[in-house]
Amino acid sequence: MKSIFIIGVIVIVLGIASLFIPIPRNDRHGISAGDVSIGIDVKHNEKVPPVISAVLILGGIGLMIAGSRKNA
């Protein structure tokens, strides 16, 4: 049961980090004809929606509670 508790802590840390750290994404817009390529690279920094972060945090808390209970 201890491993479930540790996984819960990791999920909580990921949920909190997803609130603050953006995920980088690169897009390439342009045309390509044979060996010639004309285009532009666009970089986006997108954050995870707060609802998903909340689900991660609540799921981590649930795992921590399940991992801390002792077998009766």
Residue 72's pLDDT is 44
Which of 66, 59, 68 is closest to 11 using CA atoms? 59
**Ranges of each domain in the chain:** 2-68
Q: Among the residues of 1-72, which ranges form H helices?
A: 2-20, 50-68
CB atoms within 10 A of CB 1: 10
If you ran DSSP here, which 8-state letter would residue 14 be given?
A: H
Positions of the chain with pLDDT lower than 70, given as ranges: 1, 70-72
What is the CB-side half-sphere exposure of residue 56 using CA atoms within 13 A?
18
| pLDDT value, residue 52 | 94
Distance CA 18, CA 50 (A): 8
